[in-house]
Amino acid sequence: MDKPGIDNLAATPVAAEPPFGMNEMRLTAGQWLITAGILVVCLLATPRLWKKVERFDTGADYRIPYALSKDYWLYQRRLEQISDRSQIVMLGDSVVWGEYVQPPGTLSHFLSREAGRSDGFVNCGVNGLFPLALEGLVENYGGALRNRKIILHCNVLWMSNPKADLHVEKEESFNHSRLVPQFSPRIPCYRADASERLSVIIERNVSFSSWVGHLQNTYYDQRSIPAWTLQDDGGSPPKRPNAWRNPLGQVTMVVPGEGADDPQRGPRSSRHKPWNKEGAEPSRFDWVPLNDSLQWQAFQRVVGLLRSRSNDVLVVVGPFNEHMIAADQRPTYRAMRDGIAAWLTQSHVAYIVPDTLPSELYADASHPLTEGYALLAKHICGQEMFRKWLSRSSAP
């Protein structure tokens, strides 16, 4: 009887190694098409279904919370909720939003009170916004703004110096960089690389991508899940409390609202005080001429964009805190303000230039205090231009 040996083992046939041996299954071309179709359906359906499942409570005096100022997907969702065409949307920066005041202390609240309707004017301002960013917000996330009355705030603060106008050549970081034009017109101080700019374009045009941004802003402290997991507590040595937490446990399916007692805002806040209470003196501003201003050009485009969507726009210019401007510079500011009014007149846009408020009703160069907003609302409602605009049918 033969014993198995080396020669016999060598002669044992060995099955040929199958191609792609590590794959358990290979898809045919048709199966790849089905897979791609399922993926596309998931990408399109997930953001839509999320809106039906996630709780998002608003109501009278609602404004996007400060912590969610960069959640543009949520902002778009907020606009889509305003189905009542009799409600007037207010667009603008932190002056509309109410930097130093609580929601019941904003301009929209007092205008609603003057009109005798608790939700007649809707606060759609965003903290930290400026015309170049507002343009991107309206163009890419404001599709629901059509065929309605809109109050648009014009804050000349953004033309008060070249840095605020984003006109300096030195690279600068600024709020809402993902809203500004990525390629044209050129913003000198914006130096994002090509990959960053392309990611912005994708986020604007792919709802799934902006929904991911919503998750990061709402549940993960404006970070990706890996960055949130590695976030330290700022101690020495640093600790990473999120490293052992379940990321999915953060998703509560409830959009957080604004705290009822914000220590940074409202009459009880230490910030809610006149601009010169501690001895501040009038300042000098390096005004950017209207013809050269990137922010003013963007504001003009925003007006045109809103009107192209059949909106009836009324612009409120300021009121800027003239008490804070050095006396010899006030004529320069007034000439700029008059130039804005002249363009609005020439463009047949309804507008109001309210009187400057008393000095003690400003918190800084452009933000009123609670009593300032109340008085401003009275000034606006007392204008014949406003009453005529309000009485017109919803859109031109």
Name the strands in the sheet holding 121-123, side by side, starting at the edge strand that comes first in the sequence.
121-123, 88-91, 149-154, 312-317, 350-352
Residue 228 clears pLDDT 80, i.e. is over it: yes
d(CA 350, CA 365): 25
Whether 4 has a pLDDT exceeding 70, the answer reads: no
> How high is the pLDDT of residue 108?
97
Q: How far is CA 129 from the centre of its chain?
A: 6
Is residue 20 predicted with pLDDT exceeding 80?
no
Helix axes 131-141, 194-205, angle to 10 degrees: 40
Average pLDDT over residues 21-36: 75
Q: Is the peptide bond before 237 cis (omega within 30 degrees of 0)?
A: yes
pTM, to two decimals: 0.89
Query: Residue holding tokens 């048709």?
Result: 30
Looking at the domain 57-222+249-391, which fold is it? Rossmann fold (3.40.50)
Tokens describing residue 287: 């005004």
At 374, the amino acid letter reads: A
Predicted local confidence at residue 396, as pLDDT:
47
Give the model confidence (pLDDT) of 283-311 as tens digits: 999 999 999 999 999 999 999 999 999 99
- What is the structure's pLDDT at 353? 97
CA distance 78 to 72: 10
Q: What is the pLDDT of residues 119-167, one digit of tens each?
A: 899 999 999 999 999 999 999 999 999 999 999 999 999 999 999 999 9
Q: What is the DSSP letter of 151?
A: E
In this model, does residue 7 exceed pLDDT 60? no
Provide mean pLDDT across the span 1-29.
60
The Cα 300–Cα 291 span in angstroms is 11
Q: What is the pLDDT of residue 332?
A: 95
> What CA–CA distance (Å, rounded) separates 355 from 126?
24
CA angle 202, 203, 206 (to 5 degrees): 75
Residue 197 in this model has a pLDDT that exceeds 90: yes
User: How far from 114 is each of 121, 316, 374, 392, CA to CA, in Å?
Assistant: 10, 17, 9, 18
- pLDDT tens, residue by residue, 32-45: 888 788 887 777 88
CA dist 26 and 23 (Å) reads: 7
